[in-house]
Amino acid sequence: MAKSTTTTPSPRKRSTSKKPAAGAAEARKPNGSSAPTDVDPTEDDIRLRAYQRYLERGGEHGADFDDWLEAEKDLRSPRHN
Range of the domain at 62: 38-80
Q: What is the domain count for the chain?
A: 1
Task: Say if 66 falls within a structural domain.
Answer: yes
Query: Does residue 28 come out as left (phi exceeding 0), alpha (psi in the -120 to 50 range) or beta?
Result: beta
Task: Say if 44 falls within a structural domain.
Answer: yes
**Overall pTM surpassing 0.85 (yes/no):** no
pLDDT in tens, 13-69: 544 444 444 444 444 444 444 555 567 899 999 999 999 999 999 999 999 999 999
Cα 23 from Cα 41, distance rounded (Å): 7
Task: Say if 43 falls within a structural domain.
Answer: yes
Task: Say if 42 falls within a structural domain.
Answer: yes
Task: Say if 70 falls within a structural domain.
Answer: yes
DSSP state at residue 79: G
Cα 57 from Cα 69, distance rounded (Å): 15
Tell me: pLDDT of 72 over 60. yes
Task: Say if 71 falls within a structural domain.
Answer: yes
Distances in whole angstroms, Cα of residue 70 to Cα of each of 10, 50, 65:
45, 7, 9
